[in-house]
Structure 1
Amino acid sequence: MQVIKYPAVDTWASILQRPVMDTSTLEAKVDTILQDVKANGDAAVRKYAAQFDKVTLENFEVQPEAYERAEAALEPALKAAIQQAAKNITTFHAAQQSTPEVIATMPGVECWRKSVGIEKVGLYIPGGSAPLFSTILMLGIPARIAGCKEVILCTPSNAKGEVHPAILYSAKLVGISRVFTIGGVQAIGAMAYGTATVPQVYKIFGPGNQFVTCAKQLVSKAGLAIDMPAGPSEVAVLADDACIPDFVAADLLSQAEHGPDSQVVLVTTSEKVITDVQAALNEQLELLPRKDIATGALSNSRIILVDNMDTAMSMLNAYAPEHLILACSGAYELAGRVTNAGSVFIGNYTPESAGDYASGTNHTLPTNGYARAYSGVSLDSFVKKITFQQISPAGLQQIGATIEAMAAAEGLDAHKQAVSVRLKKINNQ
């Protein structure tokens, strides 16, 4: 990790820049695949599965007996862990439900808003070097609570056409009964456009590599909803002498092991923290099975020494990290000053991996600075909020003149007339 000491404010943007890649060639390749899936459906899906995943797909919908085999194959301890995580995630997201409240904005004029589940949603779950079955809990549970009528899941299989048993177990646990063994861009295309086998959905959720991310962005440009813009995973840690360096190093590495294009940032007010964390990083890195991946991410990463906590908080809010860990004195109070972050982890004993798996919050979060304007996935991500209004004759008499005056001023006479004819009817009764 590059160490930068006391940078001037006008250098922050360049110091905190994420890894950048040329997407023009990528977009052209991805769009070709999407258009092929749109035109040729299942045949294109099978072609790209053979080309990219080296698997021959016949019937690529998972059959009922596969769920039973998956449950039998999992260790009881892992099943118990998944169940505990699901319970916590359910508790947190169920609390986000709201009851419609009728508001009388004036006598006889009643307005309210109701949350309605998006009817058809698609979940994409990576299944390569790290089968992210935890993401099924993060997406499937709020979809169920929201009342989405149809939830499908696409995930790549291995060369034998099999899916990791934890993915199937988690899918069954949260009530997802339709899983398709499709990965990559072709999976996004199948859910976006529909095929003879895969139903078309209205919104797509889930992480993926650069090809999947690009595919989601392209179908979004064409009008299909996606969860959020996303890029490589990232974490920022704010630490002072109250931190435990081994913990900080472990948190940095837990994000770095996601991929070589991930980024981790340590902001600190202490020279000693820099020395101690670097030593811990070197020691822990040697023990990681994904050492090469983490090393690649660390080359994109920074340790930044600043004068004080005010400067640190300004810098971190400018960076807008996906994950922000406050490993410092006064962490709880500093959390109240966070304005831009996907999710915040307070204190030495709150690792980022708790949010990734089991504390209850959602781990699908905005990256690449999008936390300045986007929230992470929540129950709201799976619903539309529809407004309603009901006006009585007496209410229309109260509000009618206001509507007529505004419509006339905008030159929209038919709008005015829609009120006038009703008032005439009321006044003549």
Structure 2
Amino acid sequence: MLRRLDLTTGAVDLRRALPRAEVDVSAAMHAVTPVVEAVASRGYAAARAATLRFDGVDVPEPRVPAGALTAALEALDPAVRDALTESIRRARIVAEHQRRDTVEVQVVPGGTVTERWIPVRRVGLYVPGGLAVYPSSVVMNVVPAQVAGVESIAVLSPPQKEFGGRPHPTILAACALLGVDEVYAIGGAQAIALAAYGDTDAGIEPVDVITGPGNVYVAAAKRLVRGVVGIDAEAGPTEIAVLADATADPVHVAADLVSQAEHDTLAASVLVTDSVELADAVDVELERQVAATKHVDRVRAALTGRQSATVLVRDLEQGLAVVDAYAAEHLEVITADARRWAERVRNAGCVFVGAHAPVSLGDYCAGSNHVLPTGCTARHASGLSVQSFLKGVHLVEYSAEALAEVAPHVLALAEAEDLPAHGAAVAARLRP
């Protein structure tokens, strides 16, 4: 089922050798730029036209009425409501521990620097609605924003023909459960543009930060509006890497690879192992499990795509180097002494440790956040958290005596940089 890359012999450039989905955000920008520019100049009228063109739905009034949110929650399957409630509870527990405290540092007597963490005022949270329905993404976006103290939250999600041009009812119910009443039936690049630029006449206020996953066109739109607003990341197709040895259960490994392949035909499922026997057993299990899964064509396309593979390594040391080079969105470590190996991982969006922590747990109810860096960006980026909605601001306070004491150093550095007015601004305060 999975193609194999044998890295057990010879040196190799891991970043080039490892499987990746072919996603060209730059190419998508050619299609997206006119949409974003039109929304920037004409507001919701342009977004409405784009929605009709791309989604085949005309949405005269984009904001979902409060009554529709309440009705969606009332009609929600009780089991799903209980599951969302528990997901929210666990996500909030973790998020509460991510708060940052104000720190005041006395640099010298009379001179202090205080770091305050201030929430952004307004955010736009994007919830996709393509091949699947993602109420869990409502939870993952909204909870950290609320815990951070964001005062104005807008959720944007694509309209669905079968639901009268509104987002899926389960998404609406999740918003209602979280107390979010500003929800818009807008998706794609036009949603990102409208969040960034707003439309005063339509009563849509621009946001300060946009977060949430989406397709390549959403990623391209985020790239275009970065700078106008803050963004979390340019999310690409989902990824799972599994670092496993001979102790891993092939049934578990295959099930986890299938679970991520279910998202999209471009989803990446990568097994890294030093056990040929495990690799063979996983292939057998994949054939069995794929044939039995609901989205068989989508899963098979993802698993047989160039972005998925089994990578054979000499030992777990080399395996660790491989997964660090790959920098997966989701990394499972299913080995003997799994915690020890997991603690040595440098690059991953989220690490799932041992046989009983599958990625699916993190997608819904682990308490961790499932909005994570993709496409190797876990080398330098983090998943969504309370910090994504906070700004660190320094307060600098110096007494006259403390300024006088350090003034010679400031004057010397201003002279060295040929910026005499910098020095003069200090010297003016030293005169009797």
Match of 2:209, as an amino acid?
K
- Whether the aligned pair in 2 keeps the contact of 1:237 and 1:267 (CA below 8 Å) is yes
CA distance in 2, matches of 1:116, 1:101: 13
Which residue of structure 1 aligns with residue 273 of structure 2?
268
1:137 corresponds in structure 2 to 139
Residue 216 of structure 2 corresponds to residue 210 of structure 1: yes
Q: Which residue of 1 aligns with 2:185?
A: 181
| Contact 1:229–1:370, Cα closer than 8 Å, also in 2 | no
Q: Residue 419 of structure 1: CA displacement?
A: 1.5
Give the match's secondary structure for 2:118. strand
Matched residue of 2:102: which SS? coil
Structure 2 letter corresponding to 1:92: V
Maintained 8 Å contact 1:88/1:359: yes
Partner of 2:103: 101
**1:226 correspondence with 2:231:** yes
Q: Secondary structure in 2 aligned to 1:127?
A: coil
Q: Distance in 1 between matches of 2:24 and 2:414?
A: 49
Residue 161 of structure 1 corresponds to 165
Are the equivalent residues in 2 in contact too, given 1:403–1:416 (CA < 8 A)?
yes
**Which residue of structure 2 aligns with residue 2 of structure 1?**
3
Shift of 1:26: 2.3
User: Following TM superposition, by how much is the alpha carbon of 1:34 offset from its aligned partner in structure 2, in angstroms?
Assistant: 1.1
Tell me, what secondary structure is at the counterpart of 1:9? coil
Confirm whether residue 401 of structure 1 aligns to residue 408 of structure 2. yes
1:7 to 1:64, Cα distance in 2 relative to 1, 3 A = farther
Q: 1:375 to 1:89 in 2, by over 3 A?
A: same
Q: Give the CA deviation at 1:346.
A: 0.3
Normalization by structure 1: what TM-score?
0.95
2:198 matches 1:194: yes
Q: Structure 2 stretches of 5 or more lacking a match?
A: none
Task: Tell me what 2:259 maps to.
Answer: 254
Q: Which residue of 1 aligns with 2:52?
A: 50
TM-score w.r.t. structure 2 length?
A: 0.95
CA distance in 1, matches of 2:237, 2:123: 23
- Which stretches of structure 1, 4 residues or longer, exceed 6 Å deviation after superposition? none
Q: Deviations over 1:133-169 (max 9, x none)?
A: 1111111111111111211111112112132222112
1:317 paired to 2:324: yes
Contact 2:220/2:234 (8 A) holds in 1: no
2: distance between equivalents of 1:285 and 1:53? 30
Please tell me whether the aligned partners of residues 115 and 386 of structure 1 are also in contact (alpha carbons under 8 angstroms): yes
CA-atom RMSD in angstroms: 1.5
Secondary structure at the aligned position of 1:243 is classed as coil
- How far apart in 2 are the matches of 1:372 and 1:24? 21
User: Contact 1:107–1:398 at 8 Å: present in 2 too?
Assistant: no
SS at match of 1:10: coil
1:417 aligns with 2:424: yes
Residues 1:37 and 2:44 are matched in the alignment:
no
Q: CA contact under 8 A between 1:320 and 1:369: conserved in structure 2?
A: yes
Counterpart amino acid of residue 357 in structure 1: Y
Match of 2:300, as an amino acid? T
Displacement, 1:305? 1.3
Q: Distance in 2 between matches of 1:259 and 1:163?
A: 20
Deviation for aligned residue 1:308: 0.7
CA contact (8 A) 1:120 1:202 kept: yes
Contact 2:116 2:394 in 1 (8 A): yes
2:234 counterpart SS class: coil
Residue 72 of structure 2 aligns with which residue? 70
In structure 1, distance between residues paired with 2:11 and 2:88: 43
Query: Measured at CA, do residues 120 and 7 of structure 1 come closer, stay the same or move farther in structure 2, by a change above 3 Å?
Result: farther
Which whole-Å deviations, capped at 9, do the CAs of 1:68-98 have from their partners, x for residues lacking one? Answer: 1111111111111111110110010110112
Q: CA deviation at 1:413?
A: 1.6
- The Cα offsets for residues 295-325 of structure 1, whole Å up to 9 and x where unpaired, read as 1111221101111111110111111111110
Aligned residues: 424
* Alignment check: 8 A CA contact 1:57 1:161 kept: yes
Alignment gaps of 5+ in structure 1: none
Flag the 1:281–1:9 CA change in 2: closer, same or farther, 3 A.
same
Identify if the C-alpha distance between structure 1 residues 24 and 422 changes in structure 2 by more than 3 Å, giving closer, same or farther: closer
Question: Shift of the alpha carbon at 1:109?
Answer: 0.5
CA–CA distance in 1 between the matches of 2:414 and 2:85?
Answer: 57
Give the C-alpha shift of residue 281 in structure 1: 0.9
Task: Report the CA distance between 1:261 and its aligned residue.
Answer: 0.9
* Structure-2 separation of matches of 1:163 and 1:411: 58
Counterpart of 2:166, as a letter, is E
Of stretches 5-14 and 348-357 in structure 1, the one that deviates more from structure 2 is 5-14
Provide, for residues 194-244 of structure 1, a one-character-per-residue CA deviation record: whole Å limited to 9, x for no partner.
123322112111111121111111222x54321013211101001111111
Change (3 A) 1:78 1:302: same
Report the equivalent of 1:88: 90
Cα distance change of structure 1 residues 21 and 227 upon mapping to structure 2, 3 Å threshold: closer
Partner of 1:351: 358
**Residue deviations 1:99-140, cap 9 Å, x none?**
212100111101111111111210111123212111111111
Partner of 2:288: 283
CA distance in 1, matches of 2:103, 2:314: 49
Query: Are the aligned partners of 1:144 and 1:174 in contact in 2 as well (CA < 8 Å)?
Result: no
Greater Cα shift, 186-195 or 170-179: 170-179
1:246 match: secondary structure: helix
What is the DSSP-based 3-state SS (H/G/I as helix, E as strand, rest coil) of the residue aligned with 1:139? helix
How big is the shift at 1:28? 1.1
Cα pair 2:69 2:181 within 8 Å, conserved:
no
Judge conservation of contact 2:73–2:177 (CA < 8 Å) in 1: no
